[in-house]
Amino acid sequence: MGIAGNVVVFVVIWWLVFFMTLSFGVRGQWEDGHVEDGTEPGAPQSAGIRKKMLVTTGIAMALWAMVWLAVRFELVRFGDGTSWGT
């Protein structure tokens, strides 16, 4: 797998993990009892996106390394793409 393939795999893993972590630790305004005028009571008080992005990057790097090792040591093999099933 070349550089472009590695980048694509990492980006896909990163976004999947990011979407899974978005809901962790989010508290709605109604839970704190302080709802800003003109906003939805279920809107998050603080989403903590920066922390989630850092955690996501760490998890994605670990998962990408596992994929890279599986491809490197041929636990998973990709054909040359010229034929189906062979």
86 pLDDT higher than 70: no
Model pTM? 0.76
Report the domain count for the chain: 1
Nearest to 13 by CA among 73, 76, 52, 67: 67
Residue 67 token pair? 């994929």
Q: Write down the pLDDT at residue 43.
A: 79
Is position 86 within any domain? no
Is position 81 within any domain? no
d(CA 81, CA 86): 10
Q: Write down the pLDDT at residue 10.
A: 96
Is position 65 within any domain? yes
Is position 15 within any domain? yes
Average pLDDT over the chain, rounded to an integer? 86
Helices (H) and strands (E) counted in the chain, each on its own, are 3, 0
76 pLDDT higher than 80: no
For the segment 13-29, the average pLDDT, to the nearest whole number, is 90
Q: Write down the pLDDT at residue 50.
A: 93
Q: Write down the pLDDT at residue 51.
A: 93
In this prediction, residue 80 has a pLDDT band, given cuts at 50, 70 and 90, of low
